[in-house]
Structure 1
Amino acid sequence: MSADQEQRTIRCLVAKVGLDGHDRGAHVISRAFRDAGFEVIYSGLHRAPEEIVQATVQEDVDVLGISILSGAHDTLVPEIIDGLEEYDAFEDTLILVGGIIPDDDEAELKELGVSEVFGPGASMEQMVEYVRENVPEKE
């Protein structure tokens, strides 16, 4: 991490996409990121992919954390990535996915551009450290 990155606050959007109504994990992650000194925006429940894209772009976040437990990750996450690419926001955003994601699907998500997938049992410290080490530099 460069000195400039240490100076600025990392901005994160924690997003719940689709009809998934389980948000306890998203709240836990949001609190851990906040406690680590990150600025955190929480999308609320039942957001459409386009709403998440718009929030990511408008809030100029460094990190997009997508929390999804519904099993629709293979449809909804690619829609978000496509939207970010349309707004030229894909390269500047660290994309993380949290939830129960099968190994084969995890590999496919990473091929699409998801930086990391965190499943059950991942530690908050591990996620915070991953963000600090991998957040894109902004000019």
Structure 2
Amino acid sequence: MSTGNDERTIRCMVAKVGLDGHDRGAHVISRAFRDAGFEVIYSGLHKAPDDIVQAAVQEDIDVLGISILSGAHDTLVPKIMDGLEEYGAKDDTLVLAGGVIPDEDRDELEDAGVAAIFGPGTSIEETIEFVRENAPDR
């Protein structure tokens, strides 16, 4: 039986929001998280922000990774953050964003509550280490 934070299973959801149909990166990070010992739920493609929030709350996840390449991050990610806040889940969910997000949009997403943004070229090891170090204690 797990007794310490180092041994507990971190529950992650990798989510594809909006009309973004490019999911190779989401599959790669899902597999890497699973191989790192995390429990992983993949949302599937074309999910509305409300669908992602509902699933995140129902599954009681620790980490929400939002994969977005469509350019709609400035609209869709804040909707997810607002939904998490509405359900009282924003403060105890580590939210990450991955994909092509311009530098000028990063501050707004971080101000909305996104803990980190991982762009193209980020090593999988860096992402896994960030999750291990920052997943909320429950």
SS at match of 1:4: coil
- Number of matched residues? 136
- Kindly state the Cα deviation for residue 129 of structure 1 after the two structures are TM-superposed: 0.1
CA distance in 1, matches of 2:36, 2:7: 14
Give unmatched runs, 5+ long, in structure 2.
Answer: none
> What TM-score results when the alignment is normalised by the length of structure 2?
0.97
Runs of 4+, deviation exceeding 4 Å: none
- Kindly state the Cα deviation for residue 14 of structure 1 after the two structures are TM-superposed: 0.1
Equivalent runs, 1:92-131 vs 2, <5 Å: 92-131=92-131
- Kindly state the Cα deviation for residue 103 of structure 1 after the two structures are TM-superposed: 0.6
Q: Tell me whether 1:5 sits opposite 2:5 in the alignment.
A: yes
CA distance in 2, matches of 1:95, 1:136: 11
> What TM-score results when the alignment is normalised by the length of structure 1?
0.96
What one-letter code is carried by the residue in structure 2 that aligns with 1:117?
I
CA distance in 1, matches of 2:88, 2:4: 22
- Kindly state the Cα deviation for residue 4 of structure 1 after the two structures are TM-superposed: 2.6
Q: Paired residue for 2:73?
A: 73
SS at match of 2:4: helix
- Kindly state the Cα deviation for residue 104 of structure 1 after the two structures are TM-superposed: 1.2
Root mean square deviation of aligned Cα = 0.8
| Percent identity over paired residues | 73
Cα deviation 1:54-97 (Å, max 9, x = unaligned) = 01000000000000000000000000000000000000100000
Give unmatched runs, 5+ long, in structure 1.
Answer: none
CA distance in 2, matches of 1:84, 1:63: 12
Cα deviation 1:117-139 (Å, max 9, x = unaligned) = 0000000000000000001111x
